[in-house]
A = this chain, B = another copy of it.
């Protein structure tokens, strides 16, 4: 930090050691806006399900068998309280159903109903397009780079 390092300005050019702090250039802020844009794209394709609801269904689809609510939560990165709300709403719509685990009476198994399964299957192609549109400002090569770096931050 003693003088020679203005070469490093390329690295953190957004604010460097100048004492300035610009909200616009902070990862957290940009991350939040990217999220917002993604959610907007999502709901333009799928308006009757939220991203977390879809995530739960998609995950249930690829684990196949039943999972407990907590386990599912871990898989879709939601805490217990959040998962409960999501599952409750999906259940109210008949897309998932709950049953007790036999052998461990604490556990509540979640599974797709026939309609839930049909619904997710039908939405997968749209979900793929949502991903594509979200990434559309980047070239294929940039997409690959971006996803690799983003995954390291998650």
- List the interface of chain A (C-beta within 8 A of B): 8, 10-15, 21-23, 25-39, 42, 51, 55, 58-59, 62, 76-77, 124, 127-128, 130-132, 134-135, 137-138, 140-147, 149-154
Judging by beta carbons under 8 Å apart, are A51 and B23 in contact?
no
Main SS at interface, chain A: helix
Beta-carbon nearest neighbor of A142 in chain B: B149
Judging by beta carbons under 8 Å apart, are B33 and A143 in contact?
no
Our pick among B27, B132, B147, B151 for the contact of A147 (Cβ within 8 Å) is B27
Nearest CB in chain B: distance from A16 CB, A: 10
Judging by beta carbons under 8 Å apart, are A34 and B31 in contact?
yes
With A and B bound together, what is the CA distance between A145 and B14 in angstroms? 12
Judging by beta carbons under 8 Å apart, are A28 and B38 in contact?
yes
Our pick among B38, B55, B58, B147 for the contact of A14 (Cβ within 8 Å) is B147
Given contacts A35-B31, A152-B138, is CB(A146)–CB(B146) below 8 Å?
yes
